[in-house]
Amino acid sequence: MSFTRRQFIRVAGLGAPAARLWGTAVASQILAGQTGRAAQPETGARGGTLLHDEATWAGFRTDLLARPDSRALLAREADHWLGQPLPSVVNKAKPAPSGDPHDYMSLPPYAWPDPKKPDGLPWITRDGEVNPEFYKYDSNALEILCTAVPRLAAHSHATGSDAHARQAGRFLRTWFLDDATRMNPHLRFAQRLPGRDRPQSGIIDTTSLVFLLDAVTRLEFSHEWTPGHLAGLKAWFSAYLDWLLSAGGSEQAAANNHGTWFDAQVVSFAVFCGRPEVARRQIEAHTTKRIATQIEPDGRQPHELARTLALTYCTYNLLAFACIARLAPSLNFDLWAFTTPDGRNLTQGLRWLLPYYSGEQAWPHRQIRPFDFTNAALVLQLASEQIREPSLLPIRNKVERHPWQRLTFSKASLAARTYSTGAP
């Protein structure tokens, strides 16, 4: 795939002043083959990759086996999931407004009754303050799924355990494939705000699925997880991708992490299910513009710094960019090399956070709940797989307590939420 300078300016949505500033040399940073970094293998079959390459998974295995404490903890967590009920959207106490138990339903985490209204309606937002009602719907079951499968897959990959791989297959089939328990591939009733009919920010609920699919690439086939099951999972995500593209307009237009995670999901799901043209189009039309509007020349992320959990959301937003950037080489893009005419780029966004991750500086912005710095390991790992920044791996080694934290994502940990997963 190739672009002329005029075509690049058009797809990036640049106006005339920026077009004049944007020389061919700058534009070419994001085009195919400019950095010489290799595209990742095609995904979807066992042995392929999605976010993390084979070397990263091999390094995880080596480090895990060299650390008895981590190996024992992962075994304990993975064994826990062998005996737990399989989560499903059909198990919630009250179905979605459609009446279909297969429809996913959730509340916005920071939504509360309005104390100024007799009936509390419509609910209002108290940023960073989780309403306990939030945990009573399908978002809790989804967190269980996205915690269990990566743990089972990681343990199976490291030890060769067939039992844990088979259980991961059961979790996946129950949530996505089995007729009696599967989720319908849409989020029409996600994050519905009581007192308002319009949908809220529901697509943010499924960001963890990006990392779940990375774990799927580690699963060996068995009678519980066959090539046919994998094909069915790809079909489910293709249908979900169609729904995202047709119904996610407001989230795609969001100027903060919601918009970035919309892109990250579209790109990840499209690559996983074999629709690279959709992923490529999303990056061309949207992701480059987000770098220009969300990251300041010095690396600050003003939209996320305005939050009550500023370090949490700066990390969360940069993680979405890092996921897209990790998949971009297979689509003939290099987002880490992309720089706007006034110097905005992902590398600077990461560098701005490094002194806080390393502990050299105290976080000076608002953070109403403590930030668990192990959550920085994943974005540091993803970046280290693509850019030459000597401090990344030393800081990653400092913040991670266990090797799988460089590979897996926990929304509960990052957002300091108390999901009822039952995990040890």
pLDDT of 57 reads 96
CA–CA separation, 244 vs 259, rounded Å?
12
Cβ pair 65, 155 in contact under 8 A:
no
Nearest residue to 202 via CA among 243, 173, 145, 172:
243
Mean pLDDT, residues 134-144 taken together: 93
| 235 in any annotated domain | yes
Does 147 fall in a domain?
Answer: yes
How is 8-77 classified by DSSP, letter by letter?
HHHHHT--HHHHHH--HHHHGGGSTTSS-PPPPPPPSSTT--SSS-HHHHHHHHHHHHT-HHHHHHHHHH
What's the domain count of the chain?
1
Structure tokens at 327: 């998949």
CATH number, domain of 38, equals 1.50.10.100
Q: Which helix (H) or strand (E) holds 392?
A: helix 392-399
User: Domain for residue 205, yes or no?
Assistant: yes
How many C-alpha atoms does 18 have within 13 Å on its Cβ side? Answer: 17
pLDDT of residue 46: 56
Residue with tokens 């595209």: 39
**pLDDT tens, 303-344?**
999 999 999 999 999 999 999 999 999 999 999 999 999 999
* Collapsed DSSP state (helix, strand, coil) of residue 367: strand
Q: Is 13 a domain residue?
A: no
Joined together, the tokens standing for residue 50 give 């999605």
Q: Does residue 176 form part of some domain?
A: yes
Q: Tell how strand 124-125 and strand 111-112 pair up.
A: antiparallel
CA distance 33 to 40: 13
Structure confidence at residue 30 (pLDDT) = 36
Q: Which residues pair with 125 in a beta bridge?
A: 111
DSSP characters for 189-252?
Answer: BTTPPTT--S--SGGGGGTTHHHHHHHHTTPPPBTTB-HHHHHHHHHHHHHHHHHHHHH-HHHH
Comparing 107-111, 182-186, 415-419, the range with the smallest average pLDDT is 415-419
Which structural domain, as residue segments, surrounds residue 378? 34-414
Residues 6+ away with beta carbon under 8 Å from 178: none
In a domain, 377, yes or no: yes
**pLDDT computed for residue 252 by the predictor:** 92
Three-state DSSP class for residue 387: coil
Q: Which residues does residue 112 pair with via DSSP β-bridges, in sequence order?
A: 124
The rounded percent of the chain whose pLDDT value lies above 70 is: 87
The rounded distance, in Å, linking the Cα atoms of 259 and 201 is 10
Which tens digits make up the pLDDT trace of 34-91?
333 334 444 434 547 899 999 999 999 999 999 999 999 999 999 999 999 999 999 9
317: in domain: yes
C-alpha torsion 335→339→344→345, nearest 10? 30
- Predicted pLDDT of residue 421: 66
Q: Is 207 a member of any domain?
A: yes
